[in-house]
Every structure is written in structure tokens, then in C-alpha cells.
Structure 1
Amino acid sequence: MITNCKTDFSDIVIQPGIMSDPTPSHINQSGQIKSVSYDEFVKSLKASNPDFLVNAISSGLDNTSGKYSEAALDAGCSFFNATSSKTVTDKTKKAFETKGLMILGDDLMSQFGGTAFHRGMIDFMTNRGIKIQKAYQLDVGGNQDTMNTMAEEIREKKRSAKTESIAIEAPYPFKSTAGTTEYAEQLGESRVSYYWMEAKGFLGSTIEMDLSLRTNDSTNGCNVIVDSLRAAKHILTKKDLTKTDIISAYAFKNPTKRMHIRECIKSFEDAFLI
């Protein structure tokens, strides 16, 4: 067994959270659900006094994600939405910023996951003068979040967000589909992404790319969360919220202000690397 972290976190207190959506049937059958009222959660949040509330619950629990963002605002802490639920709007940004807080999101883009890799490939091919004609990305995973994504409504929402995130990298439209297609329990925390692209090179010559990428879903996202929270803490300390959009563009698939992947990495480094 590979151990990614050897630090002892045995003194951490696990407390129940909010549940404002119908419990998915496959979770309900396990008998592991315990939740508290909104007021009880806000009270516990105020007692712990965090700088940030990080929302990393399962996909599709939109009402619950919304309640968590409201709880963060009521408790006086900033909010980081790693889920695909839409929580960051002009209205919510203004509400948080009025209190000197920030809301970051939506839909975490992993350090070297399917979307980041796909965007990087399109950026590279475009900059080398290759014109992409068609592309798809199919993801298969074995964790709880992938299982939740199998609900068609959730799958379609995540597919749309991924496809839009990828499409920004080319200066022209092309036929593209990206999204989770299957849950395979035997993969555990692994995620396998399959890519296919058809493009045109010099004198219209055909180029095809067909490959796969396998990563650990959980650890692949942690680096981005840590870097983003460190950057966010820095600008909160400086009381300068003008760089919030830079963090969201760097860390998420569906920010309010999108940037090309090369641009968002450079903007993040220029703003926060000392």
C-alpha cells in the first residue's frame, strides 16, 4: 500500500454537516448519513472560527452546497467550492466582499487531471499551428463522487462545464465532448481519462491522437486546493480582494471569469510567487 501522508491527524474532531438535498439512494442504503440543522452548523462553524470553509461534498447536492455558502457568510468565513454546484455569482461575490471575505469556485480543476491535461494539449497544438477538428474525453472512476455523477442530470451538468472549460483554449469552434461516462468500483480512487483528437497539420495532413491518463482522484486535487488557499489567505491578510478572479480562474473549471490555461497559470504566479 502506498502512503501519501504520514502525519498523525488523530486529534481532529469530525462533526456532522448540513444535508439539504434528498439523499442519493446508494448512499442512503449504507446507513452512514448524519446531519445537523443549519443553525447548529453555523454555531459550530463560528466556534471553530476558520478562515475558509472548503466545500468538497459529492456532486449533485446543489441545495446543500448553496446552504454551505450561506453558512460561511453567516459565520464570517470565506468559502471555497470544489464541487460542480454553481455558488459563485456576482451577487454572492458582492455579499462576501462586503464583509471583507471571498468566495472561490466553481468545480475544482485538479493539478494534472483530465481537464487540465486536455486544455494543455489543445493549447500546445494550437500554438504549434495545428487545427483541431474533433475531440472527446471520456472519464471512468471508482470513487463515491464518480458514482454520484452517474445520475444523468448531474452527468450532463458536469459534461457541459468540462466541455466549456476545454473549448476556451482554441480560438475557433470545434466539435468536442468531455465528461464522466462510467463508474468502475475496482478503480477505487483512481480515475482513467481517454482522449481522442483529430486535427489538421501542414497542407491539411491528418493528425490523430489517441491516449489515456490514469491518476489518483483525491491527491490530484489537493495541490490546487492548498496553493489556492495559501494565495487566498495572503490577499485576505492584505485586505485586497481584487485578485480573487485570478485564483478562481487558476483553480476551477467554471469560474465567473475564464482565462486560457497558460494565461491563468502566469497570472497566478505573477500575483503570488515571491
Structure 2
Amino acid sequence: MKNIRVALAGAGNCAWSFAQFVALAQAAPDTRLPGLMCHTLGGYRLADVRIVAAFDVDEAKVGLPLAEAFTAPVISATGFTDLGADRDAPVLPAPVLDGLVGPLASVVRPAAAARDATPEHVAKALVEHEVDVLVIALPTGASRAIRMFAQAALTAGTAVVNCTPEELARDASVSRRFAEAGVVLLGDDLRSHLGATCLHTALIELLLSRGLELQSTYQLNVGGNTDFLNLADAGRSASKFTSKANALRAAGMSDVDGVAGPSGFIGHLADTKLCFANVTAKSVLGSQVSIDIKLTVEDSPNAAGVIANAVRAAKTATDRGLSGAVDAPSPLLFKSPPHGLPESEARAAFLDFAS
């Protein structure tokens, strides 16, 4: 089986955790790592992934090898292990566009090379590095930058994994262009391995399976990494609220008073994320059931486990001659795929695809 050559659009916290997960797998290819749902997916192990390039705009990252870029001041995710085979992958400049709008401008200074970079440079680099899958992990709300990377990948014939809430797979015109070009597109908005949305939707599905009637629900999330700093700007977080609402509706929630989304930036939490969720429902004889949950996770490793599945799913779909938005693996991997499913159905569809 060949390697899967991956490029990262955004060398941030999630990319750092994913790169470490890949490094662990490369060091022990036959070991079943905790949190990895499928040791092989479409015949590919995580150890078969090679990160061959990354794109960023931060002057503390651009022009450096990957391992050094992940020591930049804005990186708050824990370093669990050193990078191995991919440590010297280059971090290339990308056009800034709207990537640093809002609070991020106060902590990231764009590299001179990023000011001069063009979409054509990105597409050319994808071809030169023979990239199979581009993982887009840019700041939420950076619509122009995200769509620029999608177009560059389309031009290069590179499959895309859209970790952001920006609608690409759900956008019928974008999905159609990928389908016509014979290129795979997976998205939208990465669904953390065991995060707030995963837990929340599983709980809703459980209550509905017992015949209860949902009355209200909420999901409030706070954290201290640059993702939460960016989401503190209401103009940047709007698509995240929409994406989470799509996930709850796919779980079976309808006509219910509900709110779910980022609720605050607390710097000293760093990469720790706290979720506070409540579901209230009507049960037998009109009696009420109310469930309160607090979830504490490190945010970026939680994303890495899903990216590990998504890049292999994208390559597998390409190998099978699929193109455009691919339905089968997407409801388990993303909050807002074109066609959502309840958690149990999504898992069954994913495992069937993976086999």
C-alpha cells in the first residue's frame, strides 16, 4: 500500500496534535493507538500517512521545517512526542486574505512572504509536493482563505478535508465542481473524536430512543487556545453556531428551544476545552428528566483522532473512483455534512465504508 501524502492548510494546534499522532503511528506501525477507531481504513494505516508540506501566514512559522514551526508562541497544545519522518516538511507561505481578521491580528504577525503569496503558488506547491489530501484547518470565519485553498486543491486535483464550518461540501455548487473534476471533498466542520457535539448528539439520540419528548437543550463551550480567541468575535463564530445546530437537527432535535456554540475565551485554559450541556425532556405521565453534563478535554488531540480517519477516508474514496462530497464516512467525521445522521447510524455507515 502506498503512503498518503498530506498537506496542512494551517499549522496550528490541531495540525500539531495530528502530526504527533502520525509520528506515534510511524514509530510503531502495528500498535493499536488509543483513540484511533480504525487501525486500518481502506487498507491504510495511520503510519502510512506522510505530512509533506504545510501552509501558514505566521512569521513565526513560515519558512521553517514543520517541527520548528510547532514551537511558535501561538501553539498551546501539549507536546506529547517529537515528530519523526515528517519533521522537516516545509511550512510554505499562503495568502493572508481574511485569515487574521479580528482578535487573531493581535497575536499573529503575517510573514512578508505571505503578503506576496498567491493562490497560484498554493496550487503549484500541491502539485510539486504530490499531495493526495489537503487538510483545511484555518480559523473559523476566514471564508475567502478557506475557499481559496479549496479552489487551489481543485486546480491541483488534490482531495480536500474541510475541518472548518465554512460550507464547502454542503455548498452544492462547490461539491458539483469537485465531482465534475473527479476530486473528493469531505466536510464540513470537524466533529471532535469525543467532544461536545459527539456527546450531545448521542445523548439526544438516547432520549429519543426511549420515547422521551425533548423540551430544551443547550451546549456552552469555553477554552483558551487561538480557536476560542478567534471565536470570541461574533462575526467569526456565526458559522460555528450554524454548524452545531445542523448536528443537533441530524440527531433528531426539531422545534426545540436550543443553543449550542462557543461561549467564551479564557486564556489560562490554553488548549483545555470545557463544555457545559443540558438536555431537558418530558417522560412518562408528563414527568420531567433533566441531564446536566460537564466535559473537560484537551481540544486539539480530540480533533487529531478524527483527522486521522478523515485523511484516510479521503484517499480511500479517491482510490474507489468517488468524487465530490462523499456521503458514507461524513456524518461521523463532521458536524455539518451534506446529509447528517444520528450517531449510531453515522458510526455504522462509517465502519461499512472503512472495511
TM-score in terms of structure 1 length: 0.92
Alpha-carbon distance in 1 for matches of 2:267, 2:172 = 39
After superposition, residues 27-66 of structure 1 pair within 5 angstroms as 27-30=104-107, 32-34=109-111, 35=114, 36-66=117-147
CA pair 126-146 structure 1, distance change in 2 beyond 3 A = same
What letter is aligned with 1:33? P
CA pair 53-132 structure 1, distance change in 2 beyond 3 A = same
Q: Which residue of 2 aligns with 1:160?
A: 242
What letter is aligned with 1:146? F
Q: Which residue of 1 aligns with 2:93?
A: 16
For the residue of structure 2 that corresponds to 1:246, the secondary structure is coil
User: For residues 113-135 of structure 1, what are the alpha-carbon distances to aligned partners after superposition, in whole Å with 9 as ceiling and x for unaligned?
Assistant: 11111000000111122222111
Q: Which residue of 1 aligns with 2:80?
A: 4
Q: How many residues align?
A: 273
Moved more, 170-179 or 127-136: 170-179
User: For residues 124-150 of structure 1, what are the alpha-carbon distances to aligned partners after superposition, in whole Å with 9 as ceiling and x for unaligned?
Assistant: 111122222111110001111111111
User: For residues 23-68 of structure 1, what are the alpha-carbon distances to aligned partners after superposition, in whole Å with 9 as ceiling and x for unaligned?
Assistant: 3243333453121122222222211110111100111100110100
For the residue of structure 1 that corresponds to 2:293, the secondary structure is strand
User: For residues 174-211 of structure 1, what are the alpha-carbon distances to aligned partners after superposition, in whole Å with 9 as ceiling and x for unaligned?
Assistant: 21110111000111111100011221222111111122
After superposition, residues 1-274 of structure 1 pair within 5 angstroms as 3-8=79-84, 9-21=86-98, 23-30=100-107, 32-34=109-111, 35=114, 36-88=117-169, 89-170=171-252, 172-241=254-323, 244-273=326-355
Q: Whose helix fraction is larger, Structure 1's or Structure 2's? A: 1
- Given that 1:81 and 1:105 are in contact with CA atoms closer than 8 Å, whether structure 2 keeps it comes out as yes
Which structure has more RCO (C-alpha within 8 Å, separation ≥ 6)? Answer: 2
CA pair 210-22 structure 1, distance change in 2 beyond 3 A = closer
Alpha-carbon distance in 2 for matches of 1:30, 1:163 = 30
Alpha-carbon distance in 1 for matches of 2:353, 2:303 = 21
Shift of 1:241: 4.1
CA pair 243-64 structure 1, distance change in 2 beyond 3 A = closer
Identity, % of aligned positions: 26
Shift of 1:234: 1.6
Alpha-carbon distance in 2 for matches of 1:137, 1:221 = 18
- RMSD between superposed Cα atoms in Å: 2.0
- Given that 1:18 and 1:68 are in contact with CA atoms closer than 8 Å, whether structure 2 keeps it comes out as no
User: For residues 2-40 of structure 1, what are the alpha-carbon distances to aligned partners after superposition, in whole Å with 9 as ceiling and x for unaligned?
Assistant: 653344343221111222216324333345312112222
For the residue of structure 1 that corresponds to 2:295, the secondary structure is strand
